[in-house]
């Protein structure tokens, strides 16, 4: 059953505003964030797990355990190597749990993934045959 035009436009407007609103809230939290040793340790561990351990686990499971074709293994590993998304911050904020830690993880994983993701893509590239 189709929605009436005004309701559909309003819901489309709300949907388009969700991403920028989450980024605005994340920016506000990061602006007041005091990075101390405890926060750095918590965020560092989560970032290491997200950007190193998780892609490695995906590579082992998809490649060794499930024996999928290389395309699917590469795709899975690259998806796993992406930085932590802002929806993790939205969920932490909604549940009022570890907002500072999650915002630091989003920030650090995004900064580190600027180098780690291309490196992972390079490692996952199929070997080039030299004539």
Long-range contacts of 95-100 (CB under 8 A, 24+ apart): 99/29, 100/29, 100/33, 100/39
* Burial profile 67-77: b = 16 or more Cβ within 10 angstroms, e = fewer: eeeeeebbebb
pLDDT one-digit tens code per residue, 106-115: 889 988 999 9
Nearest to 65 by CA among 76, 79, 78: 76
pLDDT of residue 118: 95
> Cα dist. 60→70, 74, 77, 107 in Å?
12, 11, 10, 27
Structure confidence at residue 65 (pLDDT):
97
Q: Which residues contact 89 (CB under 8 A, 6 or more apart)?
A: 22, 25, 26, 29, 99, 102, 103, 106
Digit-coded pLDDT (tens) for 40-52: 899 999 999 999 9
Q: What is the pLDDT of residues 42-101, one digit of tens each?
A: 999 999 999 999 999 999 999 999 999 999 999 999 999 999 988 888 899 899 998 889
Decide if pLDDT at 15 tops 90: no
Mean pLDDT of 7-18: 83
| pTM of the predicted protein model | 0.75
72, 85 Cβ separation under 8 angstroms: no
């Amino acid at each position: 059953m189709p929605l009436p035009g005004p309701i559909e436009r309003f819901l489309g407007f709300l949907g388009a505003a969700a991403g920028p609103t989450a980024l605005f809230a994340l920016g506000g939290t990061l602006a007041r964030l005091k990075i101390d040793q405890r926060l750095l340790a918590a965020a560092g561990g989560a970032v290491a797990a997200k950007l190193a351990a998780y892609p490695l686990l995906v590579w082992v499971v998809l490649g060794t355990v499930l024996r999928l074709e290389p395309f699917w293994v590469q795709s899975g590993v690259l998806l796993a190597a992406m930085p932590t998304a802002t929806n993790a911050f939205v969920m932490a904020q909604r549940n009022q749990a570890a907002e500072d830690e999650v915002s630091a993880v989003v920030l650090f994983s995004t900064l580190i993934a600027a180098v780690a993701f291309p490196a992972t893509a390079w490692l996952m590239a199929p070997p080039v045959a030299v004539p």
